[in-house]
């Protein structure tokens, strides 16, 4: 390899561990959000308010207009949206980085080395896709709940303004 190829290879190797750590953190976050969603689902089933707290936030800041309330809805689901979109990209990165050493191992006839690198590659993409799937599902449900709550707040405001 020439110097530029070697430099690029070394740079990509530096990314593997941070990307794997981020994927693990995203997976833990996805499980946490799924647990919170199930908790809120049970609360809703029992007739109690879920932990979305738009109404509580509105009571603390009564002067919020519709635009600021919509911004609040977006903020509440922003991290879930980011994880659902970024996790697959990081999964691809974590898949591609070990592929280089795996191909080198194949060319050297080292099946064990190839298998070791491919296990990391495939495990990373699976964790990333599961994390993205969970957070996308949670984000979709939470978004609907938040928009329903927002619509109810705006409807109540309109009704009280007409009186």
In this structure, the number of other CB atoms found within 10 A of the CB of residue 131 comes to: 27
Which residues have a Cβ under 8 Å from the Cβ of 4 and sit 6 or more positions away?
A: none
43 within 8 A of 50, measured Cβ to Cβ: yes
CA angle 35, 40, 46 (to 5 degrees): 130
For the chain, give the number of residues. 163
pLDDT digits (tens, 9 = 90+) for 70-115: 888 888 899 999 999 999 999 999 999 998 888 888 888 888 888 8
60 within 8 A of 94, measured Cβ to Cβ: no
Q: What are the start-end ranges of the H helices in the chain?
A: 3-45, 54-60, 66-107, 111-162
Which one is predicted more confidently, 137 or 8? 137
Distance CA 118, CA 120 (A): 5
Q: Residue 50's pLDDT is what?
A: 64
153 within 8 A of 69, measured Cβ to Cβ: yes
Distance CA 104, CA 110 (A): 9
pLDDT digits (tens, 9 = 90+) for 24-71: 999 999 999 999 999 989 988 887 766 556 777 777 777 777 788 888
């Amino acid at each position: 390899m020439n110097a530029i190829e070697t430099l690029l290879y070394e740079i990509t190797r530096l990314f593997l561990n941070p990307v794997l750590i981020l994927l693990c953190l995203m997976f833990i976050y996805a499980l946490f959000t799924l647990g919170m969603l199930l908790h809120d689902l049970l609360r809703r089933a029992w007739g109690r308010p879920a932990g979305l707290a738009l109404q509580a936030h509105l009571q603390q800041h009564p002067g919020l207009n519709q635009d600021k309330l919509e911004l609040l809805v977006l903020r509440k689901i922003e991290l879930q949206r980011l994880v659902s979109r970024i996790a697959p990209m990081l999964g691809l990165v974590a898949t591609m980085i070990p592929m280089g050493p795996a191909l080198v191992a194949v060319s050297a006839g080292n099946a064990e080395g190839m298998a070791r690198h491919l296990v990391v590659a495939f495990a990373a993409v699976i964790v990333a896709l599961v994390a993205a799937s969970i957070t996308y599902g949670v984000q979709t449900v939470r978004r609907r709940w938040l928009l329903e709550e927002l619509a109810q707040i705006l409807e109540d405001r309109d009704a009280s303004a007409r009186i």
